[in-house]
Chains A and B, each alone.
Chain A
Amino acid sequence: MAKQIDYKRRHMPKQEPFERVKNFDEVALGYTEELAREEAGRCLSCKKPLCREGCPVGINIPAFIECIVAGDFAAGIKKIKETNALPAVCGRVCPQEEQCELQCILGKKGGSVSIGRLERFLADWEAAHGKTETPVMAALNGMKIAIVGSGPAGITVANDLALLGYAVTIFEALHEAGGVLTYGIPEFRLPKAIVKREVQYVKSLGVKLYLDYIVGKTRTIDSILLEFDAVFVGAGAGLPWFMGIPGENLNGVYSANEYLTRCNLMKGYRFPAYDTPIKRPARVVVFGGGNVAMDSARTALRLGADESHIVYRRSKEELPARAEEAENAEEEGVIFDYLTLPMRLIGDERGWLTEIECIKMELGELDASGRRSPIAVKGSEFRMKADAVIVAIGNSPNPLIPMSTPGLAVGKKGNIEAEEETGKTSRERIWAGGDVVTGAATVISAMGAGRRAAKSMHAALSWSK
């Protein structure tokens, strides 16, 4: 008898909005074993699984889903880890709706299998059961790899090359590993204990990790190359953009990087138990419509804001944030001011922000990005009160490495130029990948770039040997 097709995605339990805005605990609670097995049971086990093609790191999705159906969770997580070193992270922050789940046949009827939630379930199951299995590792081959940055790209390269027998050392500029996973994404979306666990896993493969080590400053890449066979640069997109409008240096105006770093890395939300302060203003306005904007607006609510706004110049349809995150923000009471562009920030005599002058927008013709471009509506200027503005409109790559590495080709936006397929840069023995090459993108695309670079590095180094 043919299998009855089940189009109903199983809901993942979440903290109730009125509860969760009062704490920094994770919003989503994850599937129970029963829910996970029900959800996995909806998979049609397609002969030609399109979902796998949608995954930037090519996880064998049907295989791990099959393990869940069979109730063999240990085998399931092992399957994932063959190609993904960070399942607990990816299960939480990947935009699955644009990748694996977009390709799912069931998705045509609006009910694609919840691949991300199942991945997360397996990773959490493994952590809860305390036994992390170390995969089979090749014997040390005597070659040394240096990795700059311990974010998603760097961790992936470290994982892949450690398994192949390289002695890997990661240099991290901050005092905690994880890059954007640690300083950027808030605790309520990605608990830091999970990031620590994943970093610990990579260290268990023999990877060395130096914190507070600023490559380009403490030591240059050229000096590192005297000691190591090759370098991978995954230094991220750590230079925040501002709008370039008057008043942006008023007190009370923050880059999203500053705001989130104070909260997440420095634990400002626990001030004064932690020394780093963070302001708790009553009316917060966030500029931008991506995931970072959502994270900032939701953080503001948790820090006690009465009102938290998102000011975005296009409409809801164009929001670059994941639908799930925008929905979470809306549920929690974030106010969305669409089709609105900030023009200037107004302060008091002590230099503190008080008001924002905005202008209304309407959508015109399609632009280069394929979205309808916003046009200002004449005479529609208005003011809104604000105690804080958080600018979340993007980042460009950190300049420290390009500045200190002669001959390393850099693009117009300060990004390191690297081949997409291999991560090779203009310099011998230097590879790069992730946001430092593409500008701010997603965790999984950085991991994909790391995977391709690791492959290329291995090919080049085994050839040279």
Chain B
Amino acid sequence: MYRIIERRMIVPNLHEFIVEAPEVAKSIKPGNFVIVRPDETGERVPLSVADWNSEAGTVTCIFMQVGASTAKLARLKPGGEIPTFAGPLGRETEIQNFGTVLCIGGCYGIGSVFPIARALKEAGNTIYTILEARSTYLLYWQEMFKPISERVIEITRDGTSGYKGHLTRLPEILAMEKIRPDRIIVNGCTFQMMKVSQVTKEMAIKTIVNMNPIMIDGTGMCGVCRLTVAGKTKFACVDGPDFDGHEVDWVEFLNRRLTYNPEEVYPLHKSGCASHY
């Protein structure tokens, strides 16, 4: 069993949780993910790693509450235990001195892009960070990015902080901020990664996305996480999760992610008002 050190809602519906998992913490690299099971009837949920402490033996993840198993994770309290915390899985993000790197985070990806930005900074890169959300109250961890970034830029759909609008404004924003990235890293929701890849393709800037398909084992055994990259089928769990965003078949990927949408929502209906009276 793995002990929960901390679990708190960091912004609405996004949770930060810190788990004691010394063996996993020892081997993590930026870009890895873990498979988590909340209890014995739970699903195996893949979660990107947001931070870790090898000495203390702890791992931090940021996750969004979506289905039955993440709802269970969201109810965990410090001192509680979960049966599965397996990893680290996936290939690590390529870390080299590329020059100037723009790190973009949205949703849980603000958390998972953080260790990548930190490692890239340590490798000698100049780092710019863009955090995107629907509204200012959904942004977090700005303070953690500041020491490693030249600038932390915010984009909100409602304009409550930073630039107003979407990441589709990226070319314009980069021009205004006078940033010329040699490489862009995006961690976040599928739609966001797709949109960024579309605009950066036109700008011819290499863009690495951290894919987030449905998974079961996370070790290459089931193939549910397959996607098409440069015309070839890849397994996100063992060949990725990082891929070149310009080569991903996004339409197919978005379709595949929706496979179990009705089932994901189903258990939540059963926890409605009627069951509490």
A-B residue pairs in contact (CB < 8 Å), sample of 9? A217-B87, A218-B23, A239-B221, A240-B223, A261-B222, A266-B216, A273-B41, A275-B41, A277-B260
Which residues does chain A contribute within 8 Å of B41, judged by CB atoms? Answer: 267, 273-275
Interface residues of B (CB under 8 A from A): 23-24, 26-27, 35, 37, 41-44, 67-69, 72, 83-89, 216-217, 219-224, 226-228, 233, 238, 251-252, 255-256, 258-260, 263-264, 266-267, 270
Which residues does chain A contribute within 8 Å of B89, judged by CB atoms? Answer: 214, 217
User: Is A419 located at the chain interface by the 8 A CB criterion?
Assistant: no
Within the complex, what minimum Cβ distance (angstroms) separates B251 from chain A?
7
CA distance A352 to B261 in the complex (A): 13
Given contacts A248-B233, A249-B252, 15 further A-B contacts (CB under 8 A): A173-B86, A175-B44, A183-B221, A211-B84, A218-B27, A219-B26, A242-B223, A266-B216, A275-B69, A276-B216, A277-B264, A351-B256, A398-B219, A399-B220, A400-B219
With A272-B68, A277-B263 already in contact, the answer to whether A212 and B252 are too (CB < 8 A) is no
User: Is A49 located at the chain interface by the 8 A CB criterion?
Assistant: no
Within the complex, what minimum Cβ distance (angstroms) separates A228 from chain B?
15
B255 to A218, Cβ gap below 8 A? no
Within the complex, what minimum Cβ distance (angstroms) separates B45 from chain A?
9
B27 to A173, Cβ gap below 8 A? no
A251 to B258, Cβ gap below 8 A? yes
CA distance A251 to B258 in the complex (A): 9
Within the complex, what minimum Cβ distance (angstroms) separates B239 from chain A?
10
Which residues does chain A contribute within 8 Å of B266, judged by CB atoms? Answer: 272, 277
Within the complex, what minimum Cβ distance (angstroms) separates B59 from chain A?
12
Interface set, chain A 149-189, CB cutoff 8 A to B: 173-175, 183
Interface residues of A (CB under 8 A from B): 173-175, 183, 211-214, 217-219, 238-240, 242, 248-249, 251, 254-255, 257-258, 261-262, 266-267, 271-277, 350-352, 398-400
B85 to A255, Cβ gap below 8 A? no
A251 to B259, Cβ gap below 8 A? yes
B220's contact among A219, A239, A249, A275, by CB below 8 Å, is which?
A239
With A218-B86, A249-B233, A272-B266 already in contact, the answer to whether A174 and B217 are too (CB < 8 A) is yes
Which residues does chain A contribute within 8 Å of B44, judged by CB atoms? Answer: 175, 266, 276
Within the complex, what minimum Cβ distance (angstroms) separates A242 from chain B?
7
Which residues does chain B contribute within 8 Å of A174, judged by CB atoms? Answer: 217
Interface centre among A238, A274, A276, A398 (most CB of B within 10 A): A276
A242 to B220, Cβ gap below 8 A? no
A255 to B86, Cβ gap below 8 A? no
Which residues does chain B contribute within 8 Å of A242, judged by CB atoms? Answer: 223, 233
Within the complex, what minimum Cβ distance (angstroms) separates A448 from chain B?
23
Which residues does chain B contribute within 8 Å of A351, judged by CB atoms? Answer: 251-252, 255-256
Interface centre among B24, B223, B260 (most CB of A within 10 A): B223
Which residues does chain A contribute within 8 Å of B42, judged by CB atoms? Answer: 274-275
CA distance A271 to B260 in the complex (A): 12
With A266-B43, A351-B252 already in contact, the answer to whether A275 and B267 are too (CB < 8 A) is yes
CA distance A351 to B256 in the complex (A): 8
With A251-B255, A275-B41, A275-B68 already in contact, the answer to whether A218 and B88 are too (CB < 8 A) is yes
Within the complex, what minimum Cβ distance (angstroms) separates A393 from chain B?
12
Which residues does chain B contribute within 8 Å of A219, judged by CB atoms? Answer: 23, 26-27
A258 to B69, Cβ gap below 8 A? no
B37's contact among A175, A183, A350, by CB below 8 Å, is which?
A175
Within the complex, what minimum Cβ distance (angstroms) separates B139 from chain A?
30
B223 to A400, Cβ gap below 8 A? no
Closest to B251 in A: A351
B263 to A255, Cβ gap below 8 A? no
Closest to A254 in B: B224
B217 to A272, Cβ gap below 8 A? no
